Every structure is written in C-alpha cells, then in structure tokens.
Amino acid sequence: MIRIAILLGLIGLAAATTMIAASGYDQVIAALAQAGWGIIWTSLFHVIPMICCIIGWRALMPGRKRPSYPFFFYLLWLRASVNNLLPVARIGGEVLAVRLMTKHGIRKGPAIAATVVETTMSVVAVFLFNVIGAILFTLRVGDRHIGWQLGIGLLFSMPVILALAAVQRIGFFGLLSKIFALMFREKWAQFAGGAARLDRAVRTVYRRRLRVLVCGFWQFVSWVMGVGEIWLALGFLGHPLPLTECFMVEALIQAASSAAFVVPGALGVQEAAFLVLGHALGLPTDIAAALAVIRRCRDLLLYIPGLIIWQVQEGRWLLGKKNS
C-alpha cells in the first residue's frame, strides 16, 4: 500500500510540475515574485484554522482538567505534518497523535475515542463546507450541468459518511480488530488494547452530545477560516476575489483533495483543481498556478519542521529505551 501511495505521489508530482510548466514558468515566477513576503503571511494565516480545530478536539476530552491548548496545537501540527507530507492515506497522523497523547499521560481509551470522534466530525463539517461551496459555484457560473456533476460527486461521499457513523455505532474496533490484528499483529494489541473497551469509549464520547456539537461547530469554523488563505494569497498576487468566490475555491479544492486521499498531499489533483476553478472564475492561468504553488509553499513551510521535530522526538524515545 505504501509503495502504491509513493508511486501515485511521484505521478502526481510529475503532473503538477507539467501543469505549472504549461502555465508558463516565467509568468508563474513573476506572479510569485510579486507576492513576495505575502507567501509567508498567507502560510502563517493557516495557524488560525488550526486553532479553531484544536478547540473542537480538546472539547471532547473527558474531565475538567484537560490538556492545554498549546499541547493540542503541538498534536495537530505533527498530525497534519504526517498526513500532508507522508504516504499514509491521511490516517497515520491520527495514530501519531494518539501515541503522543499516551506518552504524555493521557489514558489510551479517551485519547483514541476523542480522536476518532473528532475525525468523524471533521469529515461531516468538510462535507457541509463542500456542499455550500458547490452550490455557490453553480450559482456563480450559471451552468446546471456543472452543478449536477458536482452534486453527483458529493453524493458519492454520502455513503462513506453514513457508513462511518453506522460502524462507530455498531462497534468500529470490534468489527476491524481481526483485520488490524492481521495487519499489525501483536503491535495492534499493544497499541490499542481491547476492542470492546475502545468501542465503549467512543460511545461514551458520543453521549456527551453538547461536546460533540461544540466539536462539530469548531471543525466547520476551521474549514471556513481556510477561505482567508485564498483571499490573502490572491490579494498578494494582485488579483483579489470577493470572499464568496474564495469560499468556492477553498471548498472545491478541499473536495478534490479529499477525493484523492490516497495520493500523498493530493499532488497533481490539487493543482488541476486550482487551474480549473481559476479558469471558471476568470483568473489568468499563471495566477491560478501561482495560487497552487503558494498552497504548496504553506505545506512545506509549516509541515516540514513538524516532521523534523517528530523525528527528533522519536529519536529521544528510542535512546531512552536503549538506556533504560
């Protein structure tokens, strides 16, 4: 699976490079030069959606004395770094987050349950975000055919969301424990413990309905705040768009990236989506390509340091085990 993901990532990288080259290297570089330090500011703006996300995630933790906001920001930063830059089908970051929680004294059951529910609420929130963006885009371009295509595409994700909710209600870990045991053998038992206990922990989190709603609200706010990145980037590129149109771009880019979750970082898919949406909204091809490059710059500026810190942390743990 990892080899396939790496191959898809390389194909995506080649496709992304080809699309940017077709847009005209000189023009794209000139647009990026005009943005200048705006690339840094746009990347740093992503911290705001991350803060919204951790507010929702932290709300799911049991007890009055919960881990601090800086600790949850650290968790989300490393989780996002792994999911966005490594071929882990966007689930390796969640495993890392749970591992970090348990290393810092949080009980395994609540850590896994809160992460599972937070991930589920994030999926629901981004689906709603995508639906709103698709409706706005259809109204903007005035093409019913495109609207139907977007609607059908979003409908394909509905069974996945419903199945995710149903499986968690029945017992997610109980159903998949045998598969996980075959894949990871004794490591699964060491990591997760009893499947029935984990399923009870997930149901316990869902029974705290107000906290789940708070989590879902902040997840949705997090996705909406991501619109600010598009708005800022286009402003620095000298081609500002209204916030409603930036909303359309961000929502449909997220939809395309979610559909290509097996491709590391949605390489190629994300760039193609920027070019198609940019053309539909009247952006020059070189500006749309530069916007795609700025999004990649954000990933590199924020997440490569996260990967480095994660590796340093893992190295310390390994040295600690050898010395003990």
Q: Is the pLDDT of residue 6 over 50?
A: no
pLDDT at 268 > cutoff 50: yes
pLDDT (tens digit, 9 = 90+) per residue, 124-177? 999 999 989 988 888 887 766 666 666 666 766 676 677 666 666 666 555 555
> Which residue reads 């570089």 in tokens?
29
At residue 5 the predicted structure's pLDDT band, cuts being 50, 70 and 90, is very low
- Are 204 and 115 contacting, i.e. CB atoms less than 8 angstroms apart? no
Check residue 168 and give its pLDDT: 67
Query: Of the given ranges (22-31, 49-58, 60-69, 116-125), which has the lowest mean pLDDT?
Result: 22-31
The predicted model scores a pTM of 0.84
53 CB-near residues (< 8 Å, 6+ apart)? 76, 122, 218, 219, 222
From residue 66, alpha-carbon distances to 59, 197, 201, 211, 229 in Å are 9, 21, 17, 13, 30
DSSP string covering 65-96, please?
A: SPPPHHHHHHHHHHHHHHHHHSSSTTTHHHHH
Q: Indicate whether 280 pLDDT > 80.
A: yes
> Which range, of 128-137, 223-232, 272-281, 314-323, averages the lowest pLDDT?
314-323
CB atoms near residue 290 (< 10 Å): 31
pLDDT digits (tens, 9 = 90+) for 61-78: 987 778 899 999 999 999
Closest C-alpha to 118, from 87, 88, 97: 97
Give dist(CA 140, CA 121) in Å, integer. Answer: 29
Average pLDDT, the chain: 79
Contact between 247 and 67 (Cβ < 8 Å): no
